[in-house]
Amino acid sequence: MRIAVPSKGRLREPAIELLHDAGLGPETPGDRALAFPCRNAPVEALLVRADDVPEYVQDGVVDCGITGLDIVRESGLAVRELLRLGFGACTLEAAVPAESPVTTLAELRGARVATSFPRLAAELLPEPIDLVDVHGSVELAPRLGLADAIVDLVSSGSTLRTNGLRSVAKLLESEAVLIGPAEPLADAEQLAGVFRSVVDARGARYLMLNAPESAVDAICALVPGSRAPSVLPLSEPGMVAVHSLVPAADVWRLLPQLEAAGASSILLVPVERMLG
């Protein structure tokens, strides 16, 4: 089967890393490669511009593809979102010069708005709107007198600030997605399942700790696990081991609480795959 992967830009490396973590064994592509095979699976990756991925998928040139959700929505093409991939997060935002009196989306009615996302801007901004189609350096448009506001992708917000702009509204939360053709395709669905097991695992940690039996209830209340934590007897009388899956994002908060509840010998290990 064939999968389209962004040939450059910020989605390229994490997309290839996903193929790697899914165990497909992608051959390392050179900078100018247009395609690369995978060692462990009958999968060929085609390197194409992130903007072109929806077209390739819709036309059936590839079975599925990785690109930004913003690009998929802007394309307006008939493709299906199979899986959110957990990287490339950003938001499509409307922003105005810091000194502008505009504070709400409704106040942008009738404004001149520079964007390289004309379809999404027309769909998500209040009507009427005067769109100025620009490609690249959108943030400069207000300063050049080309527009009153912009619609552009933001991740940290520092580019907006550097250019004297202030966000007015978030229009779309985006991240990298796996897309397939509008009609479900068994191969694409199967690959989505493999990727899902990796994406889910990245968000989890396997926690192991020892505790006195008397502390088990308090500890289990802190780590309910995906179903229930495993509680295993230890050779030392009155002591047990508790094993549980915990969200990676909660670890910083959980560890001190577990120690306070009586846990010792706490081990936290990454999870490679999660299924079922």
- Contact positions toward ligand AMP, by CB under 6 A? 9-11, 50, 68, 70-71, 88, 90, 153, 155, 174
Beta-bridged to residue 273, according to DSSP, are none
- In whole angstroms, the minimum distance from the beta carbon of 90 to ligand AMP comes to 3
Alpha helices, DSSP H, located in the chain: 12-21, 53-58, 69-75, 118-124, 158-162, 186-202, 216-222, 251-260
Query: Which is closer to ligand AMP, CB of 159 or CB of 257?
Result: 159
CB of 54 to ligand AMP, least distance (A): 11
> Quick one: 29 or 212, whose CB is closer to ligand AMP?
29
The C-alpha atoms of residue 54 and residue 51 are separated, in whole angstroms, by: 7
Nearest distance, CB of residue 180 and ligand AMP, angstroms: 18
Query: Rounded distance, CA 149 to CA 141, Å?
Result: 8
In terms of CB distance, is 19 or 50 closer to ligand AMP? 50
Minimum distance, C-beta of residue 92 to ligand AMP, in the bound complex (Å): 9
What does the alpha-carbon distance between residue 214 and residue 236 come to, in Å, rounded to a whole number?
A: 14
Q: How far is the CB of 87 from ligand AMP (least distance, A)?
A: 8
Taking the least distance from each CB to ligand AMP, the nearer of 20 and 49 is 49
Closer of 174 and 197 to ligand AMP (Cβ):
174
CB of 258 to ligand AMP, least distance (A): 35
- Enter the DSSP assignment of 187: H
Q: CA Rg, the chain, in Å? A: 24
Per DSSP, what are the bridge partners of residue 239?
A: 212
CB 221 within 8 A of CB 265: no
Cβ distance to ligand AMP smaller for residue 93 or 148: 93
In this structure, what are the phi and psi dihedrals at residue 40, rounded to the nearest 5 degrees?
-100, -5
> DSSP per residue over 84-98, as a string?
E-S-S-EEEEEEEET
